[in-house]
Structures are given as C-alpha cells and as structure tokens.
Copies of this chain bind each other. A is one copy, B any other.
C-alpha cells in the first residue's frame, strides 16, 4: 500500500515477479483492494498470496507513532511475517520513517549495531554504488559511519558480487585531515577498519561511481541524494523545454529520443529496486516513493538474491564477537525483544 503508485503498480510488480521470476510473493494490504487489483491482471498467479492488513500508514504520518499504533498496517503486518520466519524479506515503497521505526520495533537491531541505516542507490555511470546514511540518522557519530560502511560492504559483496568492495568517505576535500570533526574522526577509524578504504570523495565525484560504498551522516546523505535527483530532473526538464521552443528542434529531438532514453536508462534506479535497510534482524528494502511495477520487480529480485546470499549473516559477522557475544551461542533459542537476533 506504500508509495505514490500504490496499490496498482505495486501489485502489478508483484504479479510480474511471480510470473516472470518464479518468486513467491505475499501481498500485504486490505484484502478486497488487493484482490480487485490482481483480478485486473488475469487472476492470481501461483506464488502470490494475500495477507490481510486493513490499516494503511500514509506517506506523511508521524513515523514512530504510526509504527507503534497501526498494528494492522501493511508495514507492521509485513515485518511480522519476516520476524516469524514466514517471509525472507520485506519490500515496501511506503513511509520510510515508519518502515524504519517499525523494523527496529518489531525485528530489532542486530546486536552490536548502534544505528540501522538506509542505503541509497546511486545508479549512475551504468554501475551501482550505494550512499549511506540517506536520512535515518540526521545526527551521527564516527562509529556509526564505520558500521554503515561495514554493513554496506557486506551487501555489495554478497548481493552485487563486488570483490573487496571499495569504501570512501564523503568529504569537502580529497586530502586526509579535511572536513568536519565528524569526517576527520571517521577517516581515522576507516583507515584502521580492515575495509578497502580508498579515502575521501567529493560531491562532484558522486555521479561517477568511484567507490562501491560512500558513507556520510544521514543529514548530508539525504540532502545529497535528493539534490542529485533534483539536478537530473532539472537538466532533463530544461532540455525538454528548450527542444519544445522551436518546431525544427522538436523534429531533431524526436530523432534523438532513443539517445535520451539511453541516458535515462543508465541513471534509472528502477534497475536496482529498493535501498536496503541495514542493521535490523531481517531483510528490509525501502523503495522510492515513485516506484512503479518495474522498480518493484527489481526490488523483489534483489530481496530474493539478498536472502539467498547470506548477507544478513555476513553483516552479523562485521560486529566484533565481544559486542555480539550473548547472541552468538550456537544453540541458544531465538531471544525475544526489540534488540535481539531473530534467527
């Protein structure tokens, strides 16, 4: 039920993922609404089940409150499927803050992880890199950024098969010693982290996928991904209106359509689906509010690949044994409560 195009495009994406990729997808939402949508696509395909969730958390609702009180919402019901082991991953294009809050509330944090983080997808230069945090943690500490880098490196390695993923720090200069106190202290920690740390990157490097993983605080990260999106929209929009300003431009523009589409395809997040929420006890993917059927198909494909890849265990392994000790006893039954492992 999440995002600007719900439920139509979301249901269509799920139906396609079931038909074309053979995935088993539980659609979570008001049953009658979902059944009506499915009926439009020639009936319920094998692999699609419906899990009733009568409530909807709107895009502009206060996240923590909605997560706590709307227990019948598609977000809460869906996350509980993951918690109970009835689903391998949760995908939504809904209210980011509410998904994040509900995931921490119902799945819990991975022991030793200070703050879960949302990784933003930067699908530029025809290659994926991830930027985090993109908004979950507006105030950050150096140790958070290092953990985000470790988790995102595990994601890029397991799911996108990058060997020794490169990690960079977003900063305001290339040299060591540059930047805010946060950036300087994080630089020192990243150097000692054992990660494949390649140093600082600047804003102008971001479109060129110079590192697999780029870390920054959640304030800067959120502003930056939205700026990139805004600039791409702006430049393409300006070109469109310049072309419309003369009839002969229009003709030339029509000839160039495939070239423009080629550019758009290289920068299309929909190829990569949805950004992973890293640090909770379960796989959660948060799609762009604008997600259409194609983005949902990709998100479901990546979610399934993430489940198969052992990414969650790889992330758990990034936390030093000391901090994670209580949950590492091999035959301990799954602990209860918000910050325990649910394996």
Contacts and interface: CB of A to CB of B under 8 A. Distances in A.
Interface in A176-232: 179-181, 183, 202-208, 216-220, 222-232
Contact of A226 (B204, B219, B259): B204
Interface in A297-328: none
Contacts of A236: 235
Interface residues of A, number: 58
Question: Closest 10 interchain pairs by CB?
Answer: A203-B226, A204-B230, A203-B227, A207-B234, A231-B231, A242-B259, A138-B180, A252-B255, A252-B252, A172-B222
B202 A226 contact: yes
Q: Interface on chain A toward B: helix, strand, loop, or mixed SS?
A: helix
Contacts of A181: 138-139
Given A172-B135, A263-B235, A202 B223 contact: yes
Most buried by B among A179, A202, A225, A234: A234
Number of copies: 2
A127 interface: no
Interface stretch (A14-22, A34-42, A157-165, A243-251): A243-251
A243 B125 CA distance: 16
Nearest to A263: B238
A234 to B, nearest CB: 4
Nearest to A218: B172
A260 B234 contact: no
